[in-house]
Amino acid sequence: MATVGIGIIGFGVVGGGVVDVLAKDRAVIAARTGADLELRAVVSLPPYQRTDVLGASLGKDLAAITNDPAIRIVLLLVGGTTFAKDMCLACLKAGKHVVTSNKALIAEHGDALFAVAKEHKVAIAFEAAVAGGIPIIGALRDGLAANRIESITGILNGTCNFILTMMEQKQWSYQQALAEAQRLGYAEADPTLDVNGTDTAHKLAILSRIAFGIRVPLAALRIEGIQNVTAQDMASAARLRSRIKLLAMATQRPEGLELHVAPTLVPLDHPLAAVHMNYNGVYVVGSNSGPQLYTGQGAGALPTASAVLSDVIDVALGRAEQTFGSFGFVHHPTPPSFLPEAEERTASYARFVSPDKPGILAGITQILSSKGISIRSIFQGEADAQGQASIELVTHPARGGDFLDAVAEIDRKQLTAAPTVCYRRL
Amino acid sequence: MATVGIGIIGFGVVGGGVVDVLAKDRAVIAARTGADLELRAVVSLPPYQRTDVLGASLGKDLAAITNDPAIRIVLLLVGGTTFAKDMCLACLKAGKHVVTSNKALIAEHGDALFAVAKEHKVAIAFEAAVAGGIPIIGALRDGLAANRIESITGILNGTCNFILTMMEQKQWSYQQALAEAQRLGYAEADPTLDVNGTDTAHKLAILSRIAFGIRVPLAALRIEGIQNVTAQDMASAARLRSRIKLLAMATQRPEGLELHVAPTLVPLDHPLAAVHMNYNGVYVVGSNSGPQLYTGQGAGALPTASAVLSDVIDVALGRAEQTFGSFGFVHHPTPPSFLPEAEERTASYARFVSPDKPGILAGITQILSSKGISIRSIFQGEADAQGQASIELVTHPARGGDFLDAVAEIDRKQLTAAPTVCYRRL
């Protein structure tokens, strides 16, 4: 068994997790997989939270990695896309394989980096970039290699899922739940990229690339976050035997690929409804495999280290090079067409706040019917002190544009007294 | 891209599924993975259900495969262990890689076959042997390579899960549900190996080998099937907010490995409780990844073909050879100790049928208490016309031997009027 030298760039939570796993289990991993991993250098900007690096060097100079011929694999564990991209390019050009957990880097600069990697005959691996410890990249790329992927529906951001779970279980407001997530370390001080759906979108772009063999410009993705989800929305969902989850969805339709990130009503009997707290879940439908569900912890030091090291082992054994060299990251025979929102097919939820007077319900249902939208269930409670009643309904799947047109017409005809709240429903 | 010749042995349901997938998607698979798979020979005993084999030869002579130098990979898709083993050995000795869905073959003869494969520098791959289309072997072996696996809990037999689901949902007897499974093709005419737990045990032995790096003699497994599960048991489970599932469990304890297959009460809030019908589910706890769930279709022509072809692609790309050569199928540093049933730790369910007279409940609870067993919940309904009442209880986790001793003592002291029904509870 040959010893394989590795270097780490970025010594934060994930880097620390990798060191902890190697400290405890280097021999176990070697016995199991045939890959004996020797950490030789950690490159990170001081000050250092910790200095135990298993006898490796610790400093800020990248040359400790690029000039060490014994280091074959670099673990790029920093966030952002500017510094990370420079580091990645430097390592690839020095002939090092790169394993990274940086989803933004792969989603935004994957093409450029893959090209440089191929030129230098090294591999880039990024299992840790999506869904933390769940080996979903490997499953889509290798395990389901003999399928056409029909759809991917994912809960891909643990921060959002924690917040939504807290809102549901404790009847908290978004702000209360966010504060609790920050207190427990599930949300960062600036949670913007998590809660506004950007992080989820990066992950969806990566999964779509693997699953559908296409480039996914982030501009092709409709992205909606969870900041506007209210306690009332959660209660409405519960009454409809559903939960609100931030879903990333990629669906192959005959007319094109439908891609979006949005808070969505998930019926309780759908497997994704049971994915709680900081967990991630990915529901994949393959043409031969049928529907499958993968769930697990999507972030955190050790789950992410688990994914990073699975890639490192794959590279060390020579498998990743083989995969990276032959896998068609862009193999779709025709340039894909991305469906505009109007062309999506989706069931929807709407809550109309209306004056409690004759003709309102008839007006709303007539407009929906005129657009060809069929109502699956409807609920109206007593009017409140202001004489306003909430009418909540769920539609059968319909063309998204028709539904939005109907809602706009209902609002325009003054059948409502406040802006209508709409969600997709799975 | 090089074309890779493949041959199939056994042209039943799975073989037909493989041909169907290649007929439809050979080009898609090639574009995606870099592996262009050419079917060159199908070897099977006549009469043939179908003869469309994509231009390959179809006959009963194995030489069509072993003598064809262009065939690098053999898909061994027959059941049983005698003929299958001979075929497997002949192919390995002819320098062919073997991909198989035959769980009994790998569970019972894995060691011998692996040794011959290594000698002839070829690989054996068997993703399809466990959980059909779910890539669970790849997940345990590669995706979770940097974990110590702490436990595996699996619903691994779709026939049993279908029968139990029908019993629960329709309040059917075991016989009624079995008949329906046979009518729908989910159970064979002779369902013995499925319903008595043998098939599940074979799969557990294979998963344990991958996860724990040990040989698992089938004799080390305690195996209980579902034949004795009654409609009354299902109703009792439902009252306790649980479902009965046939579980395969492997749990690493400080004292040794606990391995068994048994019908078990699964609380509704456990993710495996939501695995219904003919689906499989595997719940894995890794030391770094934490708990993960994988679900999907565990059998059928296309899901199994999906798994078989993922292995074929892995072999075609050279990855499987790499994995097979380096993976420590037996790497556990010390000979493992398998825990006897008495040493298991498990929560339990018991239903005592007792005469409705003073002192019974006191007697039962006193005996349980004297063995150190703590009761989690208890339920007693009205006595029936014969003056007998059912006392049902669930214990906290305890030493299995202590629980069984207590039940034996309760029965011996004539606190019961019929044999006590016991199940493990997750």
Tens-place pLDDT, residues B7-20: 999 999 999 999 99
Catalytic-role residue among B85, B96, B203, B245 = B203
Question: B359 — contact with chain A (CB < 8 Å)?
Answer: no
Parallel/antiparallel/unpaired status of strands A345-355 and A398-399: antiparallel
Please tell me if residue A306 touches chain B, with a CB cutoff of 8 Å. Answer: yes
Q: Which residues of chain B neighbour A148 with C-beta distances below 8 Å?
A: 25, 28
The candidate with the shortest Cα–Cα distance to A281, out of A356, A203, A360, is: A203
State whether residue B325 sits within 8 Å of chain A by CB: yes
For A37, the closest chain B residue by CA position comes to B146
Question: Chain A within 8 Å of B385 (Cβ-Cβ)?
Answer: no
The pLDDT, as a whole number, for residue A214 is: 86
Q: Taking the CB of residue A270, how many other CB atoms lie within 10 A of it?
A: 18
Give contacts of B31 with chain A, Cβ < 8 Å.
Answer: 213, 328, 331, 333
Q: Which of A21, A26, A32 to mutate to test the interface with B (most CBs of B within 10 A)?
A: A32
Residue B271 to residue A297, Cβ atoms within 8 A:
no
Please write the tens of the pLDDT for every residue from B387-411.
899 999 999 999 999 999 999 999 9
> Rg for chain B (alpha carbons), in Å?
24
Interchain proximity A305–B146, CB inside 8 Å: yes
pLDDT in tens, B13-65: 999 999 999 999 999 999 999 999 999 999 999 999 899 999 999 999 999 99
Q: What is the mean pLDDT of residues B321-340?
A: 79
Q: Which residues of A touch B35 (CB under 8 A)?
A: 326
Q: Which of A133, A145, A307 sits opposite B29 (nearest CB)?
A: A145
Distance CA B274, CA B265 (A): 13
Query: Does B362 score more than 80 pLDDT?
Result: yes
Q: Torsion angle, CA of A86/A90/A91/A95, rounded to 10 degrees? A: 150
Instruction: Tell whether the model's pLDDT for residue B331 goes beyond 80.
Output: no
Which positions in chain B touch A312 (Cβ < 8 Å)? 146
Q: Is B294–A292 a contact, with Cβ atoms under 8 angstroms apart? A: yes
Residue at B40: amino acid letter: R
Rounded to whole angstroms, the Cα distance separating B337 from B257 reads: 6
Q: What tokens were used for A369?
A: 């019917």
Section B111-120 average pLDDT:
95
Q: Least CA distance to B142: which residue of chain A?
A: A310
Domains of chain A, each with CATH number or no CATH? 3-129 (3.40.50.720), 136-298 (3.30.360.10), 344-425 (3.30.70.260)
B290 close contact with A: CB closer than 8 A = yes
Residue-by-residue pLDDT tens, chain A, 426 positions: 789 999 999 999 999 999 999 999 999 999 999 999 999 999 999 999 899 999 999 999 999 999 999 999 999 999 999 999 999 999 999 999 999 999 999 999 999 999 999 999 999 999 999 999 999 999 999 999 999 999 999 999 999 999 999 999 999 999 999 999 999 999 999 999 999 999 999 999 999 999 998 888 888 899 999 999 999 999 999 999 999 999 999 999 988 999 999 999 999 989 999 999 999 999 999 999 999 999 999 999 999 999 999 999 999 999 999 899 888 777 666 667 899 989 999 999 999 999 988 899 999 999 999 999 999 999 998 899 988 999 999 999 999 999 999 999 999 999 999 999 999 999
The question of whether B203 is a catalytic residue gets the answer yes
A positions 4-43 inside 8 Å of B (CB): 17, 21, 25, 28-29, 31-35
- Residue A26 with chain B: CB contacts under 8 Å: none
For residue A326, give the chain B residue with the closest CA. Answer: B34
Is the CB of B289 less than 8 angstroms away from the CB of A306? yes
Q: How confident is the model at residue B372 (pLDDT cuts 50, 70, 90)?
A: very high
CA A128 – CA A309 distance, rounded (Å) = 9
CB within 8 Å of B28: residues ≥ 6 apart? A148
The dihedral region occupied by B409, where left means phi > 0, alpha psi between -120 and 50, and beta the remainder, is alpha
Q: How far apart are CA A314 and CA A306, in angstroms?
A: 12
From chain A, pick out residues whose CB is under 8 angstroms from the CB of B331: 31-32
Nearest Cα of chain A lies from the Cα of B274 at a distance, in angstroms, of 7
| Rounded Cα distance, B151 and B138, in Å | 17
Encoded tokens for B278: 């003919």
Backbone phi, then psi, for B345, in 5-degree steps?
-110, 120
**Hey, which residues does B149 pair with through a beta bridge?**
B286
pLDDT band at B327 (very low <50, low <70, confident <90, very high): confident
* Spatial CA neighbour of A33 closest among B90, B419, B326, B78: B326
Using the predicted structure, report yes or no on whether residue B291 has a pLDDT greater than 80. yes
- Tell me, yes or no, if A289 comes closer than 8 A to chain B by beta carbon: yes
Residue A218, min C-alpha distance to chain B (Å): 22
Tell me how far apart the alpha carbons of residues B400 and B387 are, in angstroms, rounded to a whole number. 31
Question: Given this model, what pLDDT does residue A334 score?
Answer: 65
Q: Which of A1, A33, A326 faces B34 most closely, judged by CB atoms?
A: A326
Q: Say whether pLDDT at B338 is over 70.
A: yes
Percent of chain B with pLDDT over 90: 90
Cβ-contact B144, B284 below 8 angstroms: yes
Contact B286 A17 (CB under 8 A): no
CB contact set of B341 (below 8 Å; sequence gap of 6+): B222, B260, B400, B401, B404
Measured between beta carbons, the chain B residues lying within 8 angstroms of A317 are 322-323, 326
Q: Indicate the residue of A1, A147, A309 with minimum beta-carbon distance to B306.
A: A147
Measure the CA angle with vertex B177, ends B306 and B152; round to 5°.
50
Closest by CA to A183, choosing from A204, A163, A168, A199, is A163
Say if the Cβ atoms of B289 and A297 lie within 8 Å. yes
* CB proximity list for A400: less than 8 A, separation 6 or greater: A341, A342, A343, A344, A345, A346, A348
Is A127 an interface residue toward B (CB < 8 Å)?
yes
Please write the tens of the pLDDT for every residue from B227-243: 999 999 999 999 999 99
Pairing assessment for the beta strands B97-100 and B71-76 based on DSSP bridges: parallel
CB contact under 8 A, A32 and B333: no
Instruction: Give the model's pLDDT for residue A94.
Output: 98
Distance CA B400, CA B318 (A): 46
A10 or B1, greater pLDDT? A10
Encoded tokens for B353? 């049928």
Nearest Cα to Cα of residue A29 among B326, B180, B15: B326
Contact criterion met (CB < 8 Å) for B306 and A134: no
Provide the annotated active-site residues of A.
203
Which residues in chain B are closer than 8 Å to A271, comparing Cβ atoms?
274, 295
Residue A119 CA, chain-centre distance (Å), reads 29
What is the nearest CA distance from B183 to chain A, expressed in angstroms? 22
Cβ-contact B325, A324 below 8 angstroms = no
Q: Is A184 helix (H, G, I), strand (E, B) or coil?
A: coil
Half-sphere exposure of B278 (CA within 13 A, CB side): 20
Residue A419, burial from CB neighbour count under 10 angstroms (0-12, 13-18, 19+): exposed
CA distance A215 to A209: 6
Q: Using CA atoms, how far apart are residues B196 and B202, in angstroms rounded to an integer?
A: 12
